[in-house]
Amino acid sequence: MNAAYQLSMHFAMHMRQWPKSDPTETRQDIARRLREGNAWLWPEPVQMELFR
């Protein structure tokens, strides 16, 4: 799991839905949920060249 990618995707979607949320608190909450395994994961882009 690419934690930075997951955090950025969750954070961007959350801020789109709830723009008045506190960004610092939201980022910390999402990071905690990812660490604890309480968040679904975004499909990560894959470099298909690696599988040739």
The string of pLDDT tens digits covering residues 18-52 is 999 999 999 999 999 999 999 999 988 776 566 66
pLDDT at 52: 61
pLDDT at 48: 57
What is the value of pTM for the model shown? 0.80
pLDDT at 10: 96
Could you report how far apart the first and last alpha carbons of the chain are, in Å? 22
The structure tokens 């905690």 sit at 32
Confidence label for 2 from pLDDT (cuts 50, 70 and 90): confident
Q: Which pairs with CB-CB distance under 8 Å and at least 24 residues apart come from 20-29?
A: none
In whole angstroms, what is the distance from residue 12 CA to residue 30 CA?
11
pLDDT at 47: 67
